[in-house]
Amino acid sequence: MTKAVLFDLDGTLVDSRKDIAVSVNRMLKEMGFPTRDNGEIYGCIGGGIHKLVLASFPSESVTGKPASDLVDEGVERFWRIYKDHVLDTTIPYAGIRETLLALSGADGIKLCVATNKPLTHARIILNGLDLSRLFACVKGWVPGLPVKPDPAILLRALGDLGISPGDSVMVGDGMNDLFAARAAGMKCCLVGYGYGDKTKLKEAGPDFFAERVEDLKEIIG
C-alpha cells in the first residue's frame, strides 16, 4: 500500500521552463556571453543546474578562460536572478491541483515535494501558486545536501514523514528522479508530459509511467 508520494517540482508539478530560460539569458548577459533562443535552453533543462549553465555557455569565455571554469559563478548568478522571477510565467500543469487534492484526500497517503531546486525558491513557487497546503513537507537543496540522483533529499522527506521507502513512490520527469528513487529503495513513476524525453524515460523501465497528469490518480490512488 502506498503511504507517501514524493513529487519533483519542475516538469512534474509546474511548467517553469520560460522563467528558467529567461533567467539563464539574464545570467549570460551579466557575464558577457551571447544569449540563446529559449527553445535551445528548454532542451537542456532536466539534467541539473550545473549542466544547464555549462550547456548555455559558449565554448570559450570572453575572458579567455574555458567556460567550464566559470560554471560555479554562472550557477550563483542564475539562482540570484531566478529568485526574483520564479513566478513570472510559471503555472501548475493542467489538472495538477485536482490530482493533488484527490491524492491528499486518499486515506493514509502523505504528499511531499522533493526537488533539486533550492528550498527557498521552491517555497516561493509553492506558496505563490497556493500549493503548499497540499503537502506534508517540502524538501529542496540546502547547502551541504547532495541533490538527485543522490537519494538524500528523498530519504530526508521520508524521515520527516515517518514512512519507509518500500511504502513510497517518487514521481518525476527525469532520470535523476528514477536513479534517486532506486537508490532510496522506492518505487518510481515517471511522467510523459514534463521535460524529459518520453521514449528514453519509458525505456529506462520505471515502475509506473503516467502519460498524462490525470493518470497519476489511477496509478497512485
- Catalytic positions: 8
Asked whether the beta carbons of 94 and 119 are under 8 A apart, the reply is no
Q: Which three cell numbers stand for residue 169?
A: 513512490
Residues 6+ apart with CB under 8 A from 220: 2, 5, 103, 109, 169, 171, 189, 208
66 CA to centre of own chain: 28
Residues 6+ apart with CB under 8 A from 68: 54, 57
Q: Which of 43, 2, 14, 41 is nearest to 196 (CA)?
A: 43
Three-state SS at 113: strand
